[in-house]
């Protein structure tokens, strides 16, 4: 693993490798963690979130894209996972109605289109940015986070 200035780049050759990353993140996650998933339409944000949720719930858990509901909640043995898709959020303030502050304190949050939160996105989040890779099924993931993530990321990815 190469970390430069708190950034880690990972090559994800296919969906299985994206799921592997999702499982690693899930296994080392803690209540209060916020994962900001960025990337273009179809870059793999929901795929990664689904892998994360299935790791902590069950491999057969139904994980739809919350594009129209904005948020879906999943109970697991040690708490709750909130899966947000804020693509259709008109303004950052509308996230308050979704209970996003409660979610941030109460469980694990996975947020697609976190840009929509503007200043409401907590700086303690781990950002996972998905980019195109060399080939149809390839992606590049850039993981970045300040504070405790500098210590936790190497542990998660080792």
Ligand X SMILES: Nc1ncnc2c1ncn2[C@@H]1O[C@H](COP(=O)(O)OP(=O)(O)OP(=O)(O)O)[C@@H](O)[C@H]1O
Per CB under 5 A, the list member of 18, 19, 46, 72 interacting with Mg ion is 46
Task: By CB under 5 A, tell whether 18 contacts Mg ion.
Answer: no
> Smaller CB distance to ligand X: residue 23 or 106?
23
Q: Pick the stretch among 13-21, 26-34, 89-97, 107-115 that binds Mg ion (CB under 5 A).
A: 107-115
Return residues touching ligand X (CB under 6 A): 12, 14-15, 18, 39, 41-47, 65, 85, 112, 137, 139
Q: Least distance to ligand X from the beta carbon of 77, Å?
A: 25
Query: In the bound complex, what is the minimum distance in angstroms from residue 46's beta carbon to ligand X?
Result: 3
* Count of chain residues binding Mg ion (CB under 5 A): 4
Min dist CB 147 to Mg ion, Å, is 27
DSSP secondary structure of the chain: --EETTEEEEEE-SHHHHHHHHHHHHHT--TT-EEEEE-STTSSHHHHHHHHHHHHS-TT-----TTTTSEEEEEETTEEEEEEE-TT-SSGGGGGTTTHHHHHHHSEEEEESGGGGGGGS-TTPEEEEEEE-SSTT-EEEEEE--TTHHHHHHHHH-
Comparing CA positions, the residue from 90, 85, 81, 73 lying closest to residue 112 is 85
Which positions from 61 through 100 interact with Mg ion, judged by CB under 5 A? Answer: 65
Q: Which residues bind Mg ion (CB under 5 A)?
A: 45-46, 65, 112
């Amino acid at each position: 693993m190469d970390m430069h200035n708190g950034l880690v780049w990972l090559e994800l050759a296919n969906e299985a490798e994206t799921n592997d990353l999702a499982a690693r993140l899930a296994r080392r996650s803690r209540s209060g963690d916020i994962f900001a998933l960025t990337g273009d339409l179809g870059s793999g944000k929901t795929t990664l979130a689904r892998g994360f949720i299935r790791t902590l719930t069950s491999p057969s858990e139904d994980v739809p894209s919350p594009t129209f509901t904005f948020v879906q909640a999943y109970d697991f043995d040690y708490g709750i996972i909130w899966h947000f898709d804020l693509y259709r959020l008109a303004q950052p303030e509308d996230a308050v109605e979704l209970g996003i502050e409660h979610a941030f304190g109460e469980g694990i949050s996975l947020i697609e289109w976190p840009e929509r939160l503007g200043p409401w996105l907590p700086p303690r989040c781990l950002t996972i940015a998905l980019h195109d890779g060399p080939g149809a099924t390839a992606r590049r993931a850039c993981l970045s986070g300040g504070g405790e993530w500098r210590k936790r990321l190497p542990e998660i990815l080792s």
